[in-house]
Structure 1
Amino acid sequence: MSAEVLLCDYAHARAGDKGNTLSVAVFAYNAAHYPWLVAELTAERVAACLAHRRIGQVRRYELPNLGGLNFVVDDALEGGVNASPGIDRHGKSLSYLLLDLRLPPPG
Structure 2
Amino acid sequence: MIMVHSEDEITVSLHRLAHARAGDKGERLNLALFAYDPCHFEVLMAQVTEERVRALFAHRGVSRVRRYPLPGLAGMNLVLDDVLQGGVNGALNLDGHGKTLSFLLLGMEIALPVTAKV
TM-score by length of 2: 0.85
Report if aligned partners of 2:61, 2:85 keep a CA contact under 8 Å in 1.
no
User: Shift of the alpha carbon at 1:58?
Assistant: 0.5
Q: How many residues align?
A: 107
Q: String of CA shifts for 1:14-67, please: whole Å, max 9, x gaps.
A: 111111100111110001111111111101110111011111110000011111
2-structure distance, mates of 1:96, 1:89: 14
1:2 maps to what in 2?
Answer: 4
Q: Which runs of 4+ in 1 moved over 4 A?
A: none
Tell me which of the two structures has the higher relative contact order, counting C-alpha pairs closer than 8 angstroms and 6 or more residues apart: 1
- Pick the aligned partner of 2:89 from 75, 82, 92: 82
Kindly name which structure, 1 or 2, has the bigger radius of gyration based on alpha carbons: 2
2-structure distance, mates of 1:86, 1:35: 36
Report if aligned partners of 2:54, 2:65 keep a CA contact under 8 Å in 1.
yes
2:108 maps to what in 1?
Answer: 101
1:66 maps to what in 2?
Answer: 73
TM-score by length of 1: 0.93
1:27 maps to what in 2?
Answer: 34
RMSD of equivalent CA atoms: 1.4
Unaligned ranges ≥5, structure 1: none
Q: Which amino acid aligns with 2:38?
A: A
Q: Which has the higher strand share?
A: 2
2-structure distance, mates of 1:49, 1:100: 10
User: Shift of the alpha carbon at 1:88?
Assistant: 2.0
User: Shift of the alpha carbon at 1:93?
Assistant: 1.4
Paired-residue identity, %: 51
Unaligned ranges ≥5, structure 2: 6-10
